[in-house]
Each structure stands twice: as C-alpha cells, then as structure tokens.
Amino acid sequence: MTLRNRLILSVLALITLVGLTIGVVSSVALNGFLLGRLDSQLQTATNRSLTSIDRHRPESGLTGTGSSGDPAFVGGPGQAAGTLGGFTRSGVVDRAAIVDSAGVVQQLSAEQLDILSALIVTKAPQTVSLGGSLGDYRVAFDRSPSGDGIIVGLPLSDVTATVTQLVIVTVAVTVGGLIVAALLGTVLIRLALRPLDRVEAMATRVTRLRLDRGDVVLAERVPDADADLRTEVGRVGASLNKMLGHLASALASRQASENKMRQFVADASHELRTPLASIRGYAELTRRGDFELPVDVSHSLGRIESEATRMTSLVEDLLLLARLDEGPAIENAPVDLTRLLVDAVSDAHVAAGDHEWVLDLPEEPIEVSGDGPRLYQVVSNLLANARVHTPAGTEVTVSLASKVDASGSSSAIITVSDDGPGIDPLLVDTLFERFVRGDVSRFRQAGSTSTGLGLAIVRAVVDAHGGSVEVASRPGNTEFRIVLPLRGHSPLGEAVLGRGSN
C-alpha cells in the first residue's frame, strides 16, 4: 500500500474511532439520563396511584376497581397514556391494565401477567419486556397505607426512540465526516507529498539510465526546493543528491579508466600487427627456400606460423572491439539475412563435416539495414562456438523468422541451437563478456584457438545494430537468439550511413 493511501486510511480510522467513542459515550450518558428521569416520573406515577386508591376506596371493601374489575387508578387524574397499573397478591400480579392514547383501559394477557409476576418485588425500578406492541417497560412495586400491593410501570419507547435517534444522527454525521475527510485528506495529502513525488520521478529517471557501461552523464538532481534540510522529504532529497554526486564521480573515474585501457589495447593491438606480419612472412620465406630444412626446424617454423596466425586473429578481434566501443562504426545498407545464413551454414559445413547442420528459412527473404560483413561475422562466431564446444555428431540448427511486437515494430529473429551438452549455468550470465570461455561444461576440441572474444564481438555488433542477443541452455539444448530490427525500423541513423568498418 502506498504512503498516500496509508495516511488517508489512518486519518479515516482515527475519525471512525473518535466518532464511535463519542457515539457510545453519548448514547450511554443519554440513556442513563433518560432512565433517571423516567424513574422519577415512575415514582410520581406510583404516588399518584396510591393516592387514587385510598381516595376511591368504597365502603363495600372493594379495593379501587372499576365496574369491569380493572384497576381504576390506571386512568386516574394525571396519569400519562401508556401507564401500566395492577394489583399484587402474595407477590403475584393477578390484575393489571394499561391505558392507551385514547384513554381506554386495556387488560393485560395471562402471559404478560406471568412475566410481571416473575419479577422481584421491590420498590427499585426494573426493566421488563412485555412483548407484542407494548415493548419494554420500566416498572416498580409498592404498597399503600391500607395494605394494597400494586405495580406501576411506564413505557421505555420514548427513551429507546431518543437514544436510537441519537445513534442514527451520530452514525450519519460520522459517515459524512469520513466522506469529507477522505476527499479533503486526499487533496491535502497529495499537495503535501508533491515534493516526494518529484523526488520519486527523478529517481525513476535515474533508473532508466544505462549505468553499466559507456560514458554516462549523470546530470539528474533533486531541485533545491525539495532538498530543504528542515523537512523530512528535503533531507531525503539532499541525501539523494549527495549519493548521485558520489555515483557520478565513480562513473567518471570508471569511464576514464576504461578509456585508458581501451586506448592501450587499441594501440598495443595496432603496434602488434606489423611484427606479427613480419614473423609470419619470414617463417614462410624460410620454409620456401631452395634448401632442405631438418624435420624439427620445419616443424618449429610451422608452429611459429600457426601461433602468429592465432595472435593475428586475437589482435584483429581486439581492434574490432576497440572500434565498436568508440561508436557504431558500421555500414547501413540492405542485408539479406536469408542469403547470409545460407553462406554461413555452408562455410560451417565445410569446416566441420562431422556435425549435422540444419537450416530452417522462411519462404520469403528477410532484409535488415546494417553491415553485412559484421552480421556475417556474428553468425559465423555463433556457428564456430557451436562447432568448437560440442562433440562430433551434434546437430546444429539455424533458423530465421520475423515478428511484430505489441508496439507495431517488426524484428528479424536468428536462432542458433544445438543438442550438445549445454553451458555451465554459472557461465551463462557472463558468457558475452570478454575472455570468457565455456570450456567448463561444453566439449572443447583439442587445439582450439578460442580466445574468448567471439561472443563479446557478437554482442557488440548486435548492440551496434540496435538489436539484442540472449542465450538459454540446458543439457541437450543450447539456444542463442538474436533479434534485429527489420529494414525501415533500424535505429542506425544517417550519421553512420556509408561509414566503413575498417
């Protein structure tokens, strides 16, 4: 959950708690107050009933009853509508009635008399539920000076209605307050968190930068207004600015070191080309002389030539990587990938006839914009990698396809897969780095001249074409997958049009 939502929910929870507390306390206090007042009214009604009984006692000995036998004091002077009255005999209520709002006295049922009789005979008011339309009553027992036992009660409907109305009003006000607080809180919290949003947006922009390689210009900073040390967000912004400053310095130092190393490698490689060519030339000239050389000397000259050739290949690869590091020094011309794959697989078949080479091509040719020789080198390096690191009889499949992604961009997909022993999982993440070789888990032919630069060149060339390369490997299936933008979607601009690869 976001900080904004947590703050809003916290405010709403506090308002709900306060509203609930106020509602409960108010309801309990009001209910107690109204019950106290009703008990006072009940005492007054009881006194009035006792007076009415003594005043209307007939000479015949009848105890204050009407012609129907109902308690006459129920509807006596001053009694409110809904007043309950009855006589008790030996703690049992044997007659009781209620006067309704029209002034008519209604006798209670036998079940209701039983409910009243089950009460403890005491002058203290008690609450009893009579059921039906009568509901709850507040009742009290008493005895007149002449010895008549009576029970008097008043309805709790007014008390209940008042407390219920208070609860409804409290709930309505609380809900309304929650709605208003949610709306105003959302606006106020959003305004208060704007500096944090700006800090987050800046940090997001930094995460989109490619910081792993290349010359990185880290100019993103939190504005001074959002780096005020007097506020919490300001302290976060100031700390982030310091961290970005240290990171920019570290990146600049790293890039300077990489530039020196690349310049050294380029200069050293360039300087090594001439002596290596001289060594090869003199060795070849010596072997072609008009004199017969001893067998050991002839063998030594052959080894000198082969090692000079290997060193020359390494130097050329280093020079190529150095040029690619400086920028996409590649041509931008139409390249028929179908023809390119046919040529590359044909050459691989000649170089390694003990492997099975399978070519899977679409019916229509697929073209991209780029540097044909460099793309051929990419495919050739992948095929050489499969040839060198897999045993004889391995099947190597090269396929070509095209796809259109969700954004409408069209891409060509080149896949080189084999059913060899696979790549060590520990090497997969670093396989495209320089001087990394897969000798640990994949079969390697004796006398291989692998330098560990082939896959590094693959990634550098593919990156220069605006594409991507990835690998997935398990025992029995290793797959290299290259994605290149189709012609018309290539990121190569006019700035590199016609530039040679040298």
pLDDT classification of 64: cutoffs 50, 70, 90: very low
Residue 470 lies in a domain: yes
- Is 96 in the same domain as 21? yes
- Is 252 in the same domain as 380? no
- Is 2 in the same domain as 121? yes
Looking up residue 362, the CATH number of its domain turns out to be 3.30.565.10
pLDDT classification of 502: cutoffs 50, 70, 90: very low
pLDDT in tens, 305-345: 888 887 887 777 777 777 766 665 677 888 899 999 999 99
**pLDDT for the residue 400:** 92
- Is 360 in the same domain as 477? yes
The residue out of 208, 227, 245 marking a domain boundary is: 208
- Is 320 in the same domain as 371? no
Residue 61 lies in a domain: no
- Is 338 in the same domain as 313? no
Structure tokens at 5: 């939502």
Per the CB < 8 A criterion, the answer to whether 117 and 93 are in contact is: yes
> What does the chain come to in residues?
502
User: What pTM did the predictor assign?
Assistant: 0.49
Query: Taking the mean position of all CA atoms in its chain, how far away is CA 436?
Result: 36
**pLDDT for the residue 59:** 39
- Is 77 in the same domain as 107? yes
Instruction: Indicate the number of domains in the chain.
Output: 3
pLDDT in tens, 16-63: 899 899 989 999 999 999 999 999 988 888 888 777 766 655 433 334
Per the CB < 8 A criterion, the answer to whether 76 and 49 are in contact is: yes
- Is 264 in the same domain as 136? no
Residue 303 lies in domain = 210-328
- Is 214 in the same domain as 203? no
The residue out of 276, 310, 328 marking a domain boundary is: 328
- Is 204 in the same domain as 225? no
185, 88, 101, 98: which is closest to 141 by C-alpha?
Answer: 88
The residue out of 166, 192, 208 marking a domain boundary is: 208
- Is 194 in the same domain as 275? no
Report the helix count and the strand count for the chain, using DSSP H and E: 10, 13
Residue 63 lies in a domain: no
**pLDDT for the residue 56:** 53
Per the CB < 8 A criterion, the answer to whether 230 and 236 are in contact is: no
Residue 500 lies in a domain: no
